[in-house]
Amino acid sequence: MLANKTAIVYGGGGAIGGAVARAFAREGARVFLAGRTLSKLAKVAADISSQGGEVEVTEIDALDEEAIKAHADLVAAKTGGIDIALNAIGLFHVQGTPFADLALDDYAFPIIAYAQAHFITAKAVAWHMAKRKSGVILTLSTPGGNLPGVGYIGFGVACAAIEGFSRLLACELAPSGIRVICLRPHAVPEALSFGSHAAAVFKPAADQAGVTVKEMFEAPAGTLLKRYPTLDEVAATAAFMASDKAGAMTGTIANLTCGALLD
């Protein structure tokens, strides 16, 4: 589906970023992995290369506006343009602390940092996409902005901000032929081994139910499908949304919550 496409995956060494990057490569895209941890990026790149995919790695911070722009310019100069960009970065932040005990800085950090990172990466690639009147920008959220819960108010507001940004960005960029889709997967059990914040998010509910977070993942009660999404499902959806097959879709949320949220 993505033959002859150029894709940048910010946060390409993480669980979701890496899975999507592998899916992009399987579908024929030339993939550029960007992230802060070179060892994680290298592992994903090795997987892609072993399957015959084209991949390059750059160690970079998504909050460094000048570096992100320079990187996008370099990718575009090398390949002739940028077709797809996904921001799947993860930023360590405080979760699991009740509102009454939460410091302002800990509340504000994920909101500001995630909003800035999505703005920076989208702006860096949109310029190149607009030149060819074509491109797809994928953002990443969670149901945290819609689900009731305790201990993740900062991240929940950040997710709501990402989704709002995605809708408004789609309006801004539509005249330039650029589509914007927000991926909204629920907690992915496989991501726990990557240090996902899901463990902290679900710990209060797990403690109340008298089970471990792992046990809660194995028998979820809050989804219609009685399970959580897999990395392969998230990655396959991302590849489809980035392809011409989803050409009529923009300004929307790809709901991957297994029925925890109904749109």
Determine how β-strand 135-140 pairs with β-strand 84-87. parallel
User: Residue 184 has which token pair?
Assistant: 């909204």
Count CB-CB contacts under 10 A for residue 103.
10
How high is the pLDDT of residue 149? Answer: 81
In a domain, 262, yes or no: no
* Tens-digit pLDDT profile for residues 104-134: 999 999 999 999 999 999 999 999 999 999 9
How high is the pLDDT of residue 97? Answer: 86
Question: What percentage of the chain has pLDDT greater than the value 70?
Answer: 90
The β-bridge partners of 185 are 256
Indicate the DSSP class of residue 145: G
* Tens-digit pLDDT profile for residues 1-60: 999 999 999 999 999 999 999 999 999 999 999 999 999 999 999 999 999 999 999 999
The β-bridge partners of 8 are 32, 85
Ranking 76-85, 141-150, 171-180 by mean pLDDT, the lowest is 141-150
How high is the pLDDT of residue 151? Answer: 84
Answer yes or no: are the C-beta atoms of 33 and 59 closer than 8 Å: no
How high is the pLDDT of residue 95? Answer: 84
In a domain, 261, yes or no: no
In a domain, 54, yes or no: yes
Residues present in the chain in total: 263
In a domain, 263, yes or no: no
CB-based contacts of 178: which residues, under 8 Å, 6+ apart?
126, 129, 130, 134, 135, 136, 137
Task: Compute the mean pLDDT over every residue in the chain, rounded to the nearest whole number.
Answer: 92
Pure H helices in 28-152: 38-50, 65-79, 104-131
pLDDT band at residue 189 using 50, 70 and 90 as cut-offs:
confident
How high is the pLDDT of residue 204? Answer: 60
Pure H helices in the chain: 15-26, 38-50, 65-79, 104-131, 153-173, 198-209, 213-218, 231-242
- The CATH number that applies at residue 177 is 3.40.50.720
Of the candidates 231, 209, 234, the one whose C-alpha atom is nearest the C-alpha of residue 222 is 209
* Tens-digit pLDDT profile for residues 75-112: 999 999 999 999 999 998 888 888 999 999 999 999 99
Domain that holds residue 60: 6-256
CB-based contacts of 236: which residues, under 8 Å, 6+ apart?
23
In a domain, 1, yes or no: no
pLDDT band at residue 181 using 50, 70 and 90 as cut-offs:
very high
Number of separate domains in the chain = 1
Q: Is the pTM of this model over 0.75?
A: yes
How high is the pLDDT of residue 201? Answer: 58
